[in-house]
Amino acid sequence: MIIRILGGILVCAACALLGLYMSHRGTLRARRLAEFRQTLVMLKSEIEFAAYPLPQAFANIAQRAEGDFADFYQELSRKLADKEMGLAEAWEAGLAGLEDNHFSREDIQAMGGLGSALGSIDSAVQIKAIDMAVAAIDDILPHLTVQNAKDGKMYRRLGLLGGALITVVLL
């Protein structure tokens, strides 16, 4: 009987932890999207005020960014400096590597069109494209915050109640 109770507690705890994880996943998406938005603002200032060429601007951002975004910009800088591929292809390849960072397809689409616009010669077009990507992210973030608050409660409660239901059915 003690083993059944202990098993029930473990099942309940595992389901509650799964609910917490699912709740936290949306928060991570919002945080990562805000971090990427910040790197885009840095890129805009590198192009607009410092007038660096894109490989140098990407390298500068890679030094100031953290984690996967630093790797993303460092890889872009390297590919452009070595002339391995064009900017649009390098941008798309880099975004494909960022899909593991809790981004949705909507987020990747908001960032995806930026690569072709950054490859243009005119810096005004590049700045306008960055502003449009930042605006798209700004449109996503408030909706995501409201959705996370609502879905977070639901996931936490469902995890706990689902664990309790499984425990009752098994006992």
Domain range summary for the chain, segments of one domain joined by +: 2-170
State the Cα–Cα distance between residues 59 and 81, nearest whole angstrom. Answer: 10
Average pLDDT over residues 7-27: 88
- The total number of residues shown for the chain amounts to 171
Which pLDDT belongs to residue 67? 76
Which pLDDT belongs to residue 90? 78
Q: What is the 3-state secondary structure (H, E, C) of 92-107?
A: HHHHHHHCCCCCCHHH
| Per-residue pLDDT at 109 exceeds 70 | yes
127 dihedral zone (left: phi>0; alpha: psi -120 to 50; beta): alpha
Average pLDDT over residues 71-89: 79
27-33 contacts, C-beta under 8 A, 24 or more apart? 27/148, 27/152, 28/102, 29/102, 29/103, 29/104, 29/107, 29/144, 30/141, 30/144, 30/145, 30/148, 32/101, 32/102, 32/103, 33/103, 33/107, 33/137, 33/140, 33/141, 33/144
| 78 in Cβ contact with 48 (< 8 Å) | no
Angstrom distances, CA of residue 11 to CA of 15, 21, 53, 154: 6, 15, 56, 19
Average pLDDT over residues 52-80: 81
| Per-residue pLDDT at 65 exceeds 70 | yes
14 band by pLDDT with thresholds 50, 70 and 90: very high
Which pLDDT belongs to residue 5? 87
Average pLDDT over residues 37-46: 87
Which pLDDT belongs to residue 51? 73
Which pLDDT belongs to residue 149? 86
Average pLDDT over residues 103-108: 75
Calculate Rg over the CA atoms of the chain.
Answer: 22
Place of tokens 């660096």: 52
101 band by pLDDT with thresholds 50, 70 and 90: low
Amino acid at 13: A
Higher pLDDT, 169 or 124: 169
Which pLDDT belongs to residue 17? 92
Average pLDDT over residues 8-35: 87
